[in-house]
């Protein structure tokens, strides 16, 4: 069978048109899938992000989205938080003593950030209203206690005890042992009585919030971990004084905490979508 030149051109044009339609369809499908995947990622808000916190979380689950609230003003941060699935309150400056009735001790702080305090109190309040999973690290652990009605030790060596070093000049090589209480949710999660942790703080929980209970202490008795006293009908909440983001994932007081937090955020997201 023979085809004329015009017939060959017509067939090529028709096939090319079909190919273009097919390629357009595939491109649209890829875009929809890409948007859908991004939309279904677990979103975790960090009160102030850093590489250590991001790596700590993404090592536990690389398929999450991190939102840095610190770069936003308060109202925008609250809008972003509405679409998130968890809040991580990170370490940093001292919490301003005025938040817990110790304004007279302001000069004894090593530094504070009023804008950050205000932002974190606002987003924490919103997260609590939404019953969103909340994790507090170091300053974040202290902020949880203050928000819920507790108070802080202004300066550990001066006001509490000098027998144990909680803060070193070389903070990357500052460690001490933490002892986990056996009746705590933290013990159920980690299954350990004690472990070495990275520490760097000169303030700590003093008067514990009546809504919280202690989950871990250091050898000098300082409160190193907190959780709900009565967790029934409440959001997931944990506070730790040490820095799990600077520790090896294999340490139960680091890797398992990140995994648990992300799992709780995932469950929260699934609940929202149902």
Q: pLDDT (tens digit, 9 = 90+) per residue, 150-180?
A: 999 999 888 887 777 888 777 777 888 999 9
243 is catalytic: yes
Query: What token pair was written down for 108?
Result: 């004894």
Q: Which of 141, 245, 264, 265 is catalytic?
A: 245
pLDDT-derived band at 27 (thresholds 50, 70, 90) equals low
**SS3 for 99?**
helix
| pTM beyond 0.75, yes or no | yes
> Are residues 221 and 205 in contact, defined by beta-carbon separation less than 8 angstroms?
no
In 3D space, the residue among 224, 229, 221 whose CA is nearest the CA of residue 240 turns out to be 224
pLDDT at 34: 46
Clarify whether 40 is annotated catalytic: no
Candidate list 138, 174, 201, 264, residue with the active-site label:
138
Low-confidence winner among 47-61, 156-170, 203-217 (lowest mean pLDDT): 156-170
Phi, psi torsion values for 142, nearest 5 degrees: -70, -40
- Which residue is associated with the tokens 């903070």? 171
Q: Which residues contact 260 (CB under 8 A, 6 or more apart)?
A: 189, 238
């Amino acid at each position: 069978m023979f085809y004329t030149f015009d017939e060959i051109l017509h067939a090529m044009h028709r096939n090319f048109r079909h190919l273009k339609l097919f390629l357009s369809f595939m491109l649209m499908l890829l875009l929809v899938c890409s948007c859908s995947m991004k939309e279904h990622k677990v979103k975790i808000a960090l009160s102030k992000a850093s590489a250590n916190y991001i790596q700590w979380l993404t090592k536990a689950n690389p398929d999450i989205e991190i939102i840095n609230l610190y770069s936003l003003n308060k109202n925008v941060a609250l809008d972003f938080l509405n679409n998130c699935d968890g809040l991580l309150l990170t370490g940093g400056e001292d919490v301003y003593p005025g938040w817990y009735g110790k304004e007279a001790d302001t000069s004894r702080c090593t530094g504070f950030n009023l804008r950050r305090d205000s932002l974190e109190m606002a987003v924490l309040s919103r997260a609590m209203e939404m019953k969103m999973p909340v994790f507090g690290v170091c300053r974040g652990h202290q902020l949880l206690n203050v928000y819920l009605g507790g108070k802080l030790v202004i300066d550990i060596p001066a006001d509490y005890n000098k027998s144990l070093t909680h803060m070193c000049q070389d903070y990357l090589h500052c460690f001490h042992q933490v002892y986990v209480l056996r009746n705590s949710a933290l013990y159920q999660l980690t299954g350990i009585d004690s472990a070495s942790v990275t520490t760097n703080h000169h303030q700590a929980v003093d008067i514990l919030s009546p809504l919280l209970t202690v989950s871990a202490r250091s050898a000098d008795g300082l409160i190193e971990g907190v959780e709900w006293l009565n967790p029934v009908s409440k959001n997931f909440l944990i506070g730790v004084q040490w820095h799990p983001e600077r520790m090896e994932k294999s340490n139960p007081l680091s890797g398992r905490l990140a995994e648990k937090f992300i799992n709780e955020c995932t469950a929260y997201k699934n609940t929202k979508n149902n």
